[in-house]
Every structure is written in C-alpha cells, then in structure tokens.
Amino acid sequence: MDHGSSNGSGERDRFEPSGPLTGTLTPPADKSISHRAAIIGAIADGPTRVINFLDSDDTRSSLAAVADLGALLNPEPATYMPEEFTIEGVGPGGPRSLGRIDVGNAGTLMRLLPGWIAGYEGGLWRMNGDASIRRRPVDRIADPLRLMGAEIEVTDGRFPPIRIDGRRLTGIEYELPVASAQVKSCLLIAGLRAEGPTTVVEPLATRDHTEVMLEAAGARIERSPGRVTVWPSSNLKLDEVEIPADISSAAFFLVAGAIVPGSEIVLERIGINPTRTGILSILRRMGAEIEVEPQDTGSGHAGGGGEPIGRVTVRSSKLRATRIAGEEVPLAIDELPLVALAACFAEGETVIADAGELRRKESDRIAVVVDALRDLGAGIEATADGMIVNGTRALRGGTVNSHGDHRIAMLGAIAGIASRHGVEVIDMKAASVSYPGFAADLNRLT
Ligand code: S3P
C-alpha cells in the first residue's frame, strides 16, 4: 500500500491505514541547530566545517541569507546538500549591507538574524518572508533590541517586513515576557557585539542550542537556572559542527510507533538535548514504551558541537491520557500537535494548557490542529491556551488541510496511517520546510 504518493502538483496526498511500522531510520538533521550553525558559522572568524546540515526549505533560506551577507560556502549547496561543507565566516568585519533578505517560511531565521546585523553601524537591511511569516510577531525581538540601542522598524507595530539600521549596541539585562528560545538566541547573538554583558532571564527553560554552540565557539557564557549572560566577542572559532537528527522530526515516528499496534521503530542519532526531550517524557507518561541509549555525547567541537545524541526505540502500547502544562510546554512546543494526535488514541481526557504560543507558529496550531483532528472524528476542543482531547482510541479519517504548515502536513499523514479509513492531506508539500523526504521515509516503515 502506498502511504504518500504525490499527484504531481503537491496538492493532495492520501495516507492509507497501515499495519505495524517496523524498521530503523535516521531522520534528517535538526532544524534549530542547522539554523544556528549557518548563523554562528557566518559570524565566526574563519572556517567552520559543517557536517550533516539539514537540507530543507527553511535551512536553505538561512544559508542563502548568510551567503548574501558575506559568508562563503564551500562547496555551495546545489540541487543536493553536500554531506559536509565549510562556512567561511565574515569575522569582525561584519555582515555586508544589503537591500533585502528573504527568510521564506523560517521564523527562526527571522528572529535570530536581526541579533547579528543590528549592531553593525552603517549597514541597512530589510527582512521579509512569506505570508505565514508576515503574520508572526517580531516585536518580541524588536523591543529588547531597541533597549540595546538598535534602530528597527516593524510593520503595524508587530510584524515583518522589518527594517534594520545598524547601530552601536549596549548590553542589557532582559526578562523575557514569554519563554522563547528564538528571542533568547537573538539577544545572546546581539550581545556578542554589544558593549558590556547581556543577560537574558527566562520564565521557563527553552532549548539551549545557541548557548551550547556559542560556548563551543569560544564565547564567554555564564549560565545558571533561568539566566544566561554573554560577553562581547569578536573572534569566535567554531571549527566543526556535526548536526544530530531532529527529535522534532523523529517525533512523527515516535507517535506513529506508539499508536499503530504491533509497531517497533528504531530512530538513530537523535539529538537528545534535555531542553528538547519533552515529547519522550510525555509519551512515556502516556504509557508508550520508549528506550533511549546514548550514542555520543558531543564534547567540545566534535560530535554535535556539544549536543548529546542517542538511539531512540519505540514500541506500540496502550496509551492513557495525561496533562501537559507549565515547564513541560517549551520542552515539547513543536510536538504538542502530535501529543494531541496521540491523545486521540489514549484512554481518557488529555489536557494541554499554558501553550498559547502555539497560536504564533507557522499556523495557529491550536485552531488548525483542533479543526483537523475533529474532522477526522476526534473529540477535541480548543481552549485559549491549549486543547482538551477526549481519547476514543481510534480516528475515523477524512481530510487534513496543512494550511502550508509543515508539521500539520506530517501530522495529517500519521493520522492517516493510524486511522480506520485513511486521510487525504491537502498541501503535503509543506513538509519540505523541515523534512522533504518525509513521505518516502514513512513509506519505508509501513
Ligand atoms: C525554535 C524555537 C521555538 C520553536 C521553533 C524553533 C528555535 O520557537 O517553536 O520551531 O530554533 O529556537 P520559540 O522559542 O519562539 O517558542
């Protein structure tokens, strides 16, 4: 049975009910870490060898942006992403002044890159992206960057396009109003160029890939729970970054393996940084059988640039409902739509709360997930900051519109293979934002 054939236009793809999923897979490289490798590699003084960079629309946008800003890529990615390449960073000379930077669909690029360029006097940049990007707020970075002395104009007080006029920056201490790794990362990167130290205080722990990579590049970083300080530095040397597989991509198979009876899937070389593994603890609490064996702990500049890597095995089991709130939310923020799907196959009422940030993602992931799963037969309702799912241990099937959101497209596919009658996904092509080979990989396991 084919579980992901395209009709050629990328408009509608059908995912039929599947028997057990079995086999071993290495998902594509981590999107968050790839963006950071492109940006921090471009800031660095000298070459960075990048191994296993993610080949996806989003991360190609990052490479194109840093190349336009003056970083040299060798070899340059063409139709295929080279297995490894070097980024020759621009160093203390700073980025080239440019007319326009197009971030496409990449929110991480939109939020991190201004941190780099805002501190270079004499430069002028405009940043914009697709329709989804233009609906996602950037005042969250513009406000604190202005407190550091940056000159930034945003649209309607909140949104891209934005205009950045380089200015001299001064370090600040800033308490994030919402837990966001993107905002934290923007300010830490801006701090590299500021006068004096820059401190970010976060209400809840978020992914710390920027801190890990900056430390590997020799930046002075001081960390304590809920607080990170960076000191200015003009000669970062990243040397080498090997990017682990993305736990957010692995998560589609973790949930598929947990809900399709008889499944056993082994996922290799997964990034298991504890600020990203919320999905593992949530699924375990729901009763999923998940094993993690460390494969590597990247130390210094090798093996992930300090990022821990592991083999994750999932076996199907009977699931029960759970509650997700508070500090667990940022640790699984991109996987919460999948938690809602798993909850459809669990017994009891699952509550996801404190997750209003889901409304600020590539789509409004509360509204879109609730609509999609309800149309497939789920007992699910939206709340202001999350969802409530009444698990019935089954889904009927139907149609899922991805609304151009990669994670919703892939969610629809997993719902389809686990459903009774299959799911048709409208705009499956959106998956290429983070996982161009997703349908083929799913096919291999089914
Ligand atoms: C990301 C952080 C998260 C996440 C996004 C990637 C990052 O966003 O949802 O997909 O790479 O820093 P926020 O930190 O803004 O919640």
Q: What is the pLDDT of residues 3-46, one digit of tens each?
A: 333 334 457 999 999 999 999 999 999 999 999 999 999 999 99
Ligand 1 atom at minimum distance from 36 CA: 11
Same domain? 144 vs 283: no
Ligand 1: centre distance to CA 20 (Å): 32
| Domain containing residue 142: CATH number | 3.65.10.10
> Would you say 145 and 68 are in contact if contact means Cβ atoms under 8 Å apart?
no
Asked whether residue 2 is domain-assigned, the answer is no
**Is residue 330 scored above 60 in pLDDT?**
yes
Which of 242, 277, 292 is the last residue in one of the domains? 242
Pair (79, 153) in one structural domain: yes
Average pLDDT, whole number, for the chain? 95
What is the CA(149)–ligand 1 centre distance, in A?
25
pLDDT at 301 over 50: no
45 & 96 share domain: yes
The distance of Cα 388 from the centroid of its chain, to the nearest Å, equals 24
Asked if residues 246 and 281 have their Cβ atoms less than 8 Å apart, the reply is no
- In terms of domains, do 235 and 306 share one? no
Query: What single DSSP character describes residue 245?
Result: B
pLDDT class for 299, splitting at 50, 70, 90?
very low
Ligand 1 pocket test: pick from 180, 185, 354, 406 the residue with the most ligand atoms within 8 Å of its Cβ. Answer: 180
pLDDT, mean of residues 369-373:
98
Structure-token pair, residue 189: 């990167």
Residue 410 lies in a domain: yes
Average pLDDT of 174-181?
Answer: 97
- Evaluate: CB of 182 within 6 angstroms of ligand 1: yes
Is residue 7 situated within a structural domain? no
pTM summary value: 0.96
Are 413 and 287 found together in one domain? yes
Same domain, 211 and 238: yes
For residue 24, being part of any structural domain is answered with: yes
pLDDT of residue 11: 79
- Residue written as tokens 């934002």? 433
User: What is the pLDDT, as a whole number, of residue 5?
Assistant: 37
Going from the Cα of 357 to the center of ligand 1, the distance in angstroms, rounded, reads: 10
277 lines ligand 1 (CB under 6 A): no
CB of 181 closer than 6 A to ligand 1?
yes
Residue of higher predicted confidence among 226 and 304: 226
In single-letter form, the type of residue at position 383 comes to T
Q: Is the pLDDT of residue 1 over 70?
A: no
Q: Name the catalytic one among 13, 58, 334, 441.
A: 334
The letter for the amino acid at 315 is R
Domain that holds residue 257: 12-28+244-445
Mean pLDDT of 240-269: 97
The percent of residues in the chain predicted with pLDDT above 70, rounded, is: 96
| Rounded Cα gap, residues 311 and 267, in angstroms | 6
| Domain termination site, one of 200, 223, 242 | 242
105 lines ligand 1 (CB under 6 A): no
- Ligand 1 pocket: which of 31, 32, 136 to mutate (most atoms <8 Å of CB)? 32
Task: Give yes or no: residues 155 and 225 share one domain.
Answer: yes
Residue ranges in 128-233 assigned as alpha helix (H): 139-147, 181-191, 209-216
In this structure, is residue 131 part of a structural domain? yes
Q: Beta strand pairing status for 379-383 and 386-392?
A: antiparallel
77-97 average pLDDT score: 95
Rounded Cα distance, 115 and 112, in Å? 6
180 lines ligand 1 (CB under 6 A): yes
If asked whether residues 210 and 251 sit together in one domain, one would say no
Residues 65 and 212 in one domain: yes
List 78's β-bridge partners, or say none.
Answer: none
The answer to whether residues 224 and 353 belong to one domain is no
Domain edge (last residue) among 242, 275, 304: 242
232 shares a domain with 123? yes
Whether residue 1 is contained in a domain is answered as no
Say how far apart CA 219 and CA 214 lie, in whole Å.
5
Locate the ligand 1 atom nearest the alpha carbon of residue 35 and give its number. 11
- Is residue 334 among the annotated active site residues? yes
Residue 3 lies in a domain: no
Answer whether residue 167 is part of any domain.
yes
Give 138-161 pLDDT, tens digit per residue: 999 999 999 999 999 999 999 999
Q: Note whether 365 and 381 are same-domain residues.
A: yes
* Segment 100-112 mean pLDDT: 97
Q: Is 333 in the pocket of ligand 1 (CB under 6 A)?
A: yes
Domain count for the chain: 2
Ligand 1, residue 330: give the atom nearest the CA: 16
